[in-house]
Structure 1
Amino acid sequence: MIGISDVEAAASALSGHVVRTPTVPSPGLSELLGVPVTAKLELLQRTGSFKARGAVAKLLSLDEAERAAGVVAVSGGNHGIALAVMAGALHVKATVVMPRSAPERAVRIAESAGARVCLTDDMAGAFALTEELRAEGSTLVHPFDDPVVVAAQGTVGLEFAEDAGELTDVLVSIGGGGLISGVATALRAARPDVRIWGAETEGAEAMSAALAAGGPVPVELSSVVSTLSAPAVSELTYRHVRELVDDVLVVPDPEAVRGVLQLAQHAKLWAEPAAGCLLPAARRIIAERSGVKLGLVVCGGNASPADVMAWSQRFGG
């Protein structure tokens, strides 16, 4: 497991490469939920999500030979966007492998940043091609199964701990678990009394399944929330969540979509469903506890207006 010294070292390395995103009280969300709410606005990060932190940290860790050989990643969206943009900024050759179901916007942004984008029929094919490219010499930049990446994502928690007022509970979305693993590491060191919660959507329950099984297991993916849809968590992230996180809450897709609309209406934030799922999870925490002072890590905002309208019509948001 990583430690706070790893997160602090990552923060030093990232200085000048990423944005120290705002940590702000949200009057709108506080009124909506009935408790004080503070939001860490990682949707204002470069490339629109926290993923830029892990991507640039891994790129900065490469030696000259690795930089020359280039990097490769498999992604359904945010990780690929982040790697493409940050690799372009650092003049490192990047290949992003995506399934054809990936958002067209993600493909367009990755290509415009200078990355080579390879499309496969499905996610299994994307992983297989990524392994081929890795065997040919490219360095894999994994979205969550890498201590360098997890430590960099932990800088979100480090900043949150430094910038927020009093907090009793912090909610973090979970896909593969890299963000919550890093954030929990930072918060446990800086604010050990804070309760830390994860949020997943039904049909993207890789961490909940791992906790129930006693280790990572493959899951069937059916959630519309593609940015949380990891086919399995890693042993690395599973260990962090098992040791550092109080519980993982699972919410239905329709509630996550309603959360997107409520973030827009009440917090004036254009977020994606990976962040929208925090609100229904928050309501469960608030219903079971008194004196809650809530922190939300708003992880990303890479959803198009067409996507949000389609989800809203589908689920009656």
Structure 2
Amino acid sequence: MIDISDIEAAARRIAGHVVRTPTVPSPGLGALLGVPVTAKLELLQRTGSFKARGATAKLLSLSGAERAAGVVAVSGGNHGIALAVMAAALDVKATVVMPRSAPARSIALVEDAGASVRLTDGMDSAFRLVTVLRDEGLTLVHPFDDPVVIAGQGTVGLELAEDAGELTDVVVSVGGGGLIAGVAAALRARRPGVRVWGVETVGAQAMSGALGAGAPVPVPLSSLVTTLSAPSVSRLTYDHVSALVEEVLVVPDRDAVQGCLDLADHAKVWAEPAAGCLLPAARQVAARIGADARIGLVVCGGNTTPRELTGWADRFGLL
């Protein structure tokens, strides 16, 4: 299990390479949800998501030989962007394996940063290819199954604990579970009374599926939220979530897209559906906890285009 000393060490390592993002009260979201809301704006992080933290922590931990050989990652978008940009900044050669369903903008950003992109038919085949490339000598920078990466993501929770006012509950999006594992570990140490809730979208239910089965299991993927679409969680992230997280809620893609529109309208931030899903989940939390709730939202990323968001909104009849 990751402990607070691992997260504090990661914070010292990545300081100067990543942004200490704002933690701000949101009167607009508070009015929408009926309880006070604080937003941790990770969409203002370098590369547009929290992923820069874990990628940087891992890159800075490499030996000279590992740096010379290069690194490889699998990604539906944000992890690949983060690794490509941060590897270029640290002069490390990177290869990113992505499914063809990944947003075109994300693929372009990875290529523009100088990384080599390998496209596959889906996330399952992407994970298989990245294993082959790792065995050929590249160092795998896993998006979530790595204690160094999780500790890096945990610095989000460290900053939230230090910068937020009173909180009773924090809601975190879940893909493979690296972010929520790190945030929950940090909050358990720094604010042990705060409940942590996860949220997934229908068709990207790797963690809720694992919790239901009692262990990580493969899950079918159908959600439009590719940045949350892990084919399974890892034992490492499962153990953290099962021990430290209150519950993983599941919301439809439509509600995640509506959440993006609500974040733009009420919080004045441009978020991707992986963050938009926080709002329908937060409504559930507020309904369960009642008027005493003080909710924190980890707004994890903003890497979506106006055309993508309006296309999804039109598909669901939200415009």
TM-score, normalised relative to structure 1: 0.99
Map 1:56-67 to 2 at 5 A. Answer: 56-67=56-67
1:157 aligns with 2:150: no
**SS of aligned partner of 1:171:** strand
Q: CA deviation at 1:146?
A: 0.1
CA distance in 2, matches of 1:132, 1:204: 25
Identity %: 74
1:205 aligns with 2:205: yes
Q: 1:304 is matched with which residue?
A: 305
Q: CA deviation at 1:131?
A: 1.6
- The ranges of structure 1 where at least 4 consecutive aligned residues each deviate by more than 4 angstroms after the TM superposition are none
Structure 1: unaligned runs, 5 residues or longer: none
| Matched residues, number | 317
Q: 2:105 is matched with which residue?
A: 105
CA distance in 2, matches of 1:35, 1:127: 41
For 1:284, the aligned partner's letter is: Q
Q: CA deviation at 1:135?
A: 1.2
For 2:188, the aligned partner's letter is: R
Q: CA deviation at 1:122?
A: 2.4
CA distance in 2, matches of 1:202, 1:107: 24
For 1:310, the aligned partner's letter is: G
Q: 2:251 is matched with which residue?
A: 251
For 1:93, the aligned partner's letter is: K
Instruction: Decide whether the 8 Å contact of 2:101 with 2:226 is kept in 1.
Output: no
Q: CA deviation at 1:132?
A: 1.8
Q: 2:282 is matched with which residue?
A: 282
Q: CA deviation at 1:50?
A: 0.3
Q: 1:268 is matched with which residue?
A: 268
Q: CA deviation at 1:125?
A: 2.5
Instruction: Decide whether the 8 Å contact of 2:123 with 2:230 is kept in 1.
Output: no
Q: What is the root-mean-square deviation in Å for CA atoms of aligned residues?
A: 0.7
Q: 1:170 is matched with which residue?
A: 170
CA distance in 1, matches of 2:122, 2:288: 40
Q: CA deviation at 1:106?
A: 1.1
The Cα offsets for residues 217-240 of structure 1, whole Å up to 9 and x where unpaired, read as: 000111111111110000000000
Map 1:115-130 to 2 at 5 A. Answer: 115-130=115-130
CA distance in 2, matches of 1:235, 1:125: 20
Q: CA deviation at 1:133?
A: 1.3
Q: CA deviation at 1:141?
A: 0.4
Deviates most, 282-291 or 170-179: 282-291
Q: 1:36 is matched with which residue?
A: 36
CA distance in 1, matches of 2:7, 2:123: 30
CA distance in 1, matches of 2:204, 2:51: 18
For 1:309, the aligned partner's letter is: T
CA distance in 1, matches of 2:241, 2:122: 28
Instruction: Decide whether the 8 Å contact of 2:81 with 2:106 is kept in 1.
Output: yes
For 1:253, the aligned partner's letter is: D
Instruction: Decide whether the 8 Å contact of 2:73 with 2:140 is kept in 1.
Output: yes
CA distance in 2, matches of 1:301, 1:115: 21
CA distance in 1, matches of 2:222, 2:111: 27
CA distance in 2, matches of 1:249, 1:101: 25
TM-score, normalised relative to structure 2: 0.98
